[in-house]
Structure 1
Amino acid sequence: MRALLLAGGIGSRLRPLTETIPKCLVPVHGRPLLDYWLDLLFGAGIERALLNTHWLAPQVREHVGRSPWAARIDLVHEDQLLGTGGTVLANREWFLGEPFLVAHADNLTDFDVKAFIEAHEARPPACKISMLAFRTDDPSSCGILELDSRGIVVAFHEKQQTPPGNLANGAVYIFEPEVVGWIASLGKPVVDLSTEVIPAYLHRILSVETQGYHRDIGNLESLRRAHSEFKEG
């Protein structure tokens, strides 16, 4: 399986840190977020990874070039950000018509990649997306899920003040190829997964809850907490 790592974000809520460091290279315990992702994915058998770049792209290119995984990484630059779904669409040929993993590289996680893939392969036939889920301590900052008895997403509450629960979208997905076709049917280059694709696929998304660590490093407080909470290995 191939994986797309969404790594082009500006990281405005992490300023002033991200004025000089790309969001995907923000360090936790001295290691860039991106390195955690590369070790996690390739260590679980992912064949190749594609990274989109935008903000401070030369730093990302240089870092990837020094990675021990460099031979298995492809880079694509976006002069204008295409949105999370737009990046999927723009690189549809790279996925070779096969199911693929998509992840936001600004999360810090140690989820079980192999178990996630296995859950997708065993999903109910109607489901075309599998979504990693996690329990959040800040529900209003996340997309909160409601599930049916089979673990299928039936409602999605994106960043609401009083969401119904704390099971959140972990922004890691496995897409079947037909999802890319649906994104293409929108007829526009800029598409957002959370606000456009996910709502359209309700009742066709399998939720897979991780029991490991998962945190969106979206602001300086989240980064501080990650430093105190996250234990490697």
Structure 2
Amino acid sequence: MRALLLAAGFGTRLRPITDSVPKCLVRIQGKPLLQYWLDALLPAGIERVLVNTHYLPGVVNDFVAASPWRDRISLVHEDILLGTGGTVLRNRDFFGREAFIVAHADNLTRFDVGAFLAAHANRPAGVAITMMSFDTDAPQSCGILELDAEGIVRAFHEKQPNPPGTRANAAVYIFEPEVVDFIASLGKQVVDLSLEVLPHYLGRMHCFHNADYHRDIGNPESLRRAELEY
């Protein structure tokens, strides 16, 4: 299996840190976020990782060139940001016709990669996406999930003021190839996974719950908390 690590964002809410450091290379306890992902995925059966760039691409390129994992990392630059779904579509040849992981490299997470892969392999019939979930302490800022007894996502509440619970989308997925086909069917270059793709798969997404650790490093407070918690 291969993986896409989304790393092209500006990280504007983390300025001034991100004035000179891409968000995916912000450090937690001295280690860049992207390094946490590479160290989790590549020893755990993921064959190869694709990293997309846009903001400060030279810094990311230099980081990859110096990485012990560099021979298993591919880089692709986006002159114009394509959105999360647009990046998946543009790079469909990288994945072939196999299932693949998509994750945001600016999240800090700790989970059993093998268990995640096994959950997808043993997913209920008809499921095309396995989504990682976590329990958030800031439900208004997340996509909150409603699940049935089988762990199938039946409703999705994206950044609403009074969401029904704390079980949230961690924005880490395993996609079957048919998801790429659906993105292509939209006929657009720029596509947002959360707004344009996931709603189409309600009833066909299964959750893998991360009860260990997950935090979106989206602002200085989340960065401060991650330094204390991780």
TM-score (structure 1 length as normaliser): 0.98
Find the counterpart in structure 2 of residue 147 from structure 1: 147
Q: Which residue of structure 1 lines up, in the alignment, with residue 101 of structure 2?
A: 101
Give the residue type in structure 1 aligned to 2:156: F
Matches within 5 A, 1:91-170: 91-170=91-170
Q: Which SS does the other structure have where 2:60 is aligned?
A: helix
Per-residue Cα deviation, 1:112-141 (whole angstroms, up to 9, x for no partner): 111011000000111100000000000001
2-side partners of 1:216 and 1:14: how far apart?
12
Partner of residue 69, structure 2: 69
- Whole-angstrom distance in 1 between the partners of 2:175 and 2:124: 14
Aligned residues: 230
Q: Between the two proteins, what is the percent identity of the paired residues?
A: 65
Alignment of 1:18-97 (within 5 A): 18-97=18-97
Q: Counterparts of 2:169 and 2:124 in 1: how far apart (Å)?
A: 19
Matched residue SS, 1:102: strand
Distance, in Å, in 2 between the alignment partners of 1:222 and 1:38 is 21
Q: What are the ranges of 5 or more consecutive residues in structure 2 without an aligned counterpart?
A: none
Within 2, Cα distance between the matches of 1:221 and 1:132? Answer: 23
Give the superposition deviation at 1:16: 1.1
Equivalent residues in 2 for 1:2-17, closer than 5 Å: 2-17=2-17
Q: Aligned to 1:4, what secondary structure does the other structure show? A: strand
Give the drift of 1:229.
0.4
* Cα distance in 1, alignment partners of residues 79 and 71 from structure 2: 24
Q: Which stretches of structure 1, 4 residues or longer, exceed 3 Å deviation after superposition?
A: none
Aligned to 1:186: 186
Name the Cα RMSD after superposition.
Answer: 0.5
Unaligned runs of 5+ in 1: none
| Superposed displacement of residue 111, structure 1 | 1.1
Give CA-to-partner distance per residue, 1:127-177, whole Å, 9 cap, x none: 100000000000001000000110000000011111000000000000000
Q: CA deviation at 1:62?
A: 0.3
CA positional deviation for 1:64: 0.4
Per-residue CA deviations over 1:28-62 (Å, capped at 9, x if unaligned) read 00110000000000121110000000000000000
Aligned residue identity for 2:22: P
Matched residues in 1 for 2:211 and 2:219: separation? 23
**Structure 1 Cα separation of the partners of residues 112 and 168 of structure 2:** 17
Letter in 2 for 1:50: L
CA distance in 1, matches of 2:105, 2:32: 10
SS in 2 for 1:172: strand
SS state of the match for residue 174, structure 2?
Answer: strand
Cα distance in structure 1, aligned partners of 2:168 and 2:213? 13
Distance, in Å, in 1 between the alignment partners of 2:10 and 2:90 is: 19
The alignment partner of 1:137 has SS state of: coil
Q: Which amino acid aligns with 1:199?
A: P
In 1, the alpha carbon distance for the partners of 2:43 and 2:133 equals 21
**Cα distance per residue 1:74-99 (max 9 Å; x no partner):** 00000011000000000001101100
Separation (CA, whole Å) in 1 of partners of 2:211 and 2:90 = 33
Q: Helix, strand or coil: the match of 1:62?
A: helix
